[in-house]
Structure 1
Amino acid sequence: MKKILVVDWLDKYAGSERVINSLHKIFKFDECYTLVNIMCKEDLDKIFNGNIPKINHTLLNLFGKRFRYFLPLFPYFIKSIKLPQDTKLVISSSHAISKYVTSQGALHISYFQARNLKYIWEERNLYFTGIKRIFKFIIPYLQKFDIEASKKPDFIISNSKFVQSWVKSRYGRDSVVIYPPVDIDSFGLETKKESYYVSVGRLEPYKRFDIIVKAFNVLKDKKLIIVGDGSQREYLKNLSNSNIEFVGFLDKIAISNYVSRAKAFVFMAEEDFGIAPVEAQACGTPVICLGRGGTKETIVDMQTGVYFYNQNVHELIDAINKFEINIDKFDPIAIRKNALKFSKERFEAEIKSYVEKKYEEFKDGLND
């Protein structure tokens, strides 16, 4: 049985690549198809456990790291991908358009890593700013294509109930929820906390680190450590007071060291799932977060963290003060216990069972 993996692009190792790692561990794909593969060999080895399948990319690869500038052409390039005729199982890992690729006579199951192409839907005003506003005319065309692409998979798996609801309202399609894998074992429990706060993530507009920075500019007596890199790093550093420290991109061990000793983890983004807040809980560290999106499903208000409901400085400051008043109520052992529900082992068992069941039904249908 020929098994094909389809991904949007391979450029850097992040949360969605951890899902791909588990998928390849289970299904041992024969080939991988993607718009672009500009990932270094070291990261490819991490994704595919040292057993890298044949990776096929499109001509979009010629543009290297600048491939995102060609967003209007993504539909053309994804349509150019033709899978082998003897393909029997297609699993797409989609946060953009990989869900479009399928093959006649094959079962196609798409794992939605996020609300797909959200930069042309809810977050378009975050991305189409400044000079980019002149390209807003392409949004209706891309939205039409995205809806067309959503009809391609036989089955959709959403990575959270939040994404499941979005898939239903946006595409009119049902899906099941299988939460993504979190490497709980790499984030050990620490019961002795220090006095600083921490936040981890890509320093990109949708993560709203600007709001976190502005809040801690007001809370001058509280130290904040920001871990991560991205397009907004210099802007955020210039915005920050001296109580805010940027330590850049770090490996997993170093991140765990910062997060495990922090008083609390601060998270502002409206994420589709949000791996970092679960990793924080695995350390026994409470999470101060937006009570919307995926974090509403992974954080228990006033047990493993504190909710606020709007992305603004005032509400974040109120949530931090609320946490400080109730700090003795947060038990690191109970917080870690909540994180265990999102383990890598649980994900692999659930998705293996689901795909095998659907493939058996698919085979039975062919034989009828």
Structure 2
Amino acid sequence: MKVAIVHDWLTSYAGSEKVLEQMILIFPEAEIYSLVDFMPEKDRGFLRGKNVHTSFIQKMPLAKKKYRQYLPLMPLAIEQFDLSSYDLILSSSHAVAKGVITGPDQLHISYVHSPIRYAWDMQPQYLRESGLQKGIKGTMAKVILSRIRMWDYRTSNGVDHFVANSQFIANRIWKVYRREASVIYPPVNVAAFSVKEEKEDFYLTASRMVPYKKMDMIAEAFSQMPDKKLVIIGDGPDMEKVKKHQTPNIQILGYQADHVLVDHMQRAKAFVFAAEEDFGITPVEAQACGTPVIAYGKGGALETVKGLDEIAPTGVFYSEQSPAAIRAAVQRFEQEKSKILPANCRKNAMRFSPEVFRQNLQTHIHNKQHEDGRRFGAERMITRVL
């Protein structure tokens, strides 16, 4: 059986690349396709020495730094890959990878991290943050995104089976494409974390400081609780906004190496999370350390954290993104933290291990191939997947 794995772009080793890594482990002989491949040499280990087939965008001027500006050309570029010789196509898509062209005798399963956010429900935020709300450039951007939406919807028909990284994204897939999606949670390297039972008297938040992460809002909330210590790890465009709220009880460490972050996660009383994420890896990592999570109750956090009203809770939710809501959640946590046990946090996190991901994806492929067995060598594929 010949397998092709299609990825949007390879520029850094982040969440979607960790999914790609597990796909390669399942199918070590698969060939990899990506619009561009500018992955740093130090991060290429997960590709296991594979050559990556790239599109014409790879050779466009300034593509290494400005590849995102070639968005209008990406639909054309992804359609130029010749995948006609493959039996199974797996796409790992948060932009255009799911739009590859496949034939009626091929099985295309698309693992969707999200439909193109900046073309669909997050378009207003994207235009606002890019300064493209008005003027000629703004009009051009809206026209381009409108065409991207039409293309994105049309090419959803080329996918045989959708897989979403959370129920939140499955709902978005239904809203955008009117297609059902199975849910397979992405892999989190929980083995890299260990539980520390004894917690210290500080709260932790850690993230890249970009607007939707609401790091400044967390800082503002704790600036109004002088008796509660907060440690902030991370850097990014919103650093100055965060610093404006710094008070003596708030320590800002900036960017830190992984071992420093893990150490703080293990020792923290609780991890505070304010973003509306599609899935959200850091709350799972915190729970892998036996650390409770105080999270905004929307998006992926509702699927990765168990609230106080559930059996074996692992965290506390708050219902709106505001400093007041965070303060109230912290107070509730202080009152009921005895209900949240480190062992339960760890157990919950183990649901998202790479091993669980691989098993779930293998089973899904096997089941879908069995359903569509008329398409090609059923026994050959079943044997390979199992």
- Return the TM-score normalized by structure 2: 0.87
Q: Does 1:53 align with 2:50?
A: yes
Provide the secondary structure at the position in 1 that maps to 2:132: helix
Partner of 2:98: 99
Partner of 1:356: 366
Q: Which blocks of at least 5 consecutive residues in structure 1 are unaligned?
A: none
Partner of 1:308: 318
User: What is the deviation of 1:235?
Assistant: 4.2
Provide the secondary structure at the position in 2 that maps to 1:75: helix
* Counterpart mapping for 1:1-368 below 5 A: 1-45=1-45, 47-48=46-47, 51-61=48-58, 62=60, 63-79=63-79, 81-104=80-103, 105-113=105-113, 115-129=114-128, 131-133=131-133, 134=138, 135-302=141-308, 303-366=313-376
Contact 2:24 2:30 (C-alpha < 8 Å) held by counterparts: no
Which stretch of the first structure deviates more once superposed, 179-188 or 244-253? 244-253
Which stretch of the first structure deviates more once superposed, 245-254 or 103-112? 245-254
User: What is the deviation of 1:284?
Assistant: 0.9
Distance 2:127 2:245 in 1: 22
Distance 2:161 2:256 in 1: 37
Distance 1:358 1:329 in 2: 41
Distance 1:224 1:136 in 2: 41
Distance 1:138 1:110 in 2: 24
Q: Which blocks of at least 5 consecutive residues in structure 2 are unaligned?
A: 379-386
Contact 1:87 1:103 (C-alpha < 8 Å) held by counterparts: no
Partner of 2:381: none
Q: Deviations over 1:1-37 (max 9, x none)?
A: 2211111111111122211111111111432111221
Distance 1:15 1:244 in 2: 29
Which stretch of the first structure deviates more once superposed, 25-34 or 276-285? 25-34
Provide the secondary structure at the position in 2 that maps to 1:151: helix
Quick one: structure 1 residues 316 and 172, their matched pair in 2 at CA, closer, same or farther if it must change by over 3 Å? same
Contact 1:268 1:289 (C-alpha < 8 Å) held by counterparts: yes
Moved runs in structure 1, 4+ residues, more than 4 A? none
Distance 2:12 2:170 in 1: 26
Provide the secondary structure at the position in 1 that maps to 2:331: helix
Corresponding residue pairs, total: 363
Instruction: Please tell me the residue identity of whatever aligns with 2:374.
Output: D
Provide the secondary structure at the position in 2 that maps to 1:350: helix
Contact 1:38 1:65 (C-alpha < 8 Å) held by counterparts: no
Q: What is the root-mean-square deviation in Å for CA atoms of aligned residues? A: 2.1
Distance 1:84 1:78 in 2: 11
Distance 1:227 1:188 in 2: 19
Instruction: Please tell me the residue identity of whatever aligns with 2:16.
Output: S
Instruction: Please tell me the residue identity of whatever aligns with 1:220.
Output: P
Quick one: structure 1 residues 321 and 68, their matched pair in 2 at CA, closer, same or farther if it must change by over 3 Å? same
Provide the secondary structure at the position in 1 that maps to 2:196: coil
Q: Deviations over 1:188-224 (max 9, x none)?
A: 1111111121122222222222221221232233332
Distance 2:355 2:118 in 1: 32
Contact 1:194 1:263 (C-alpha < 8 Å) held by counterparts: yes
Distance 2:377 2:334 in 1: 63
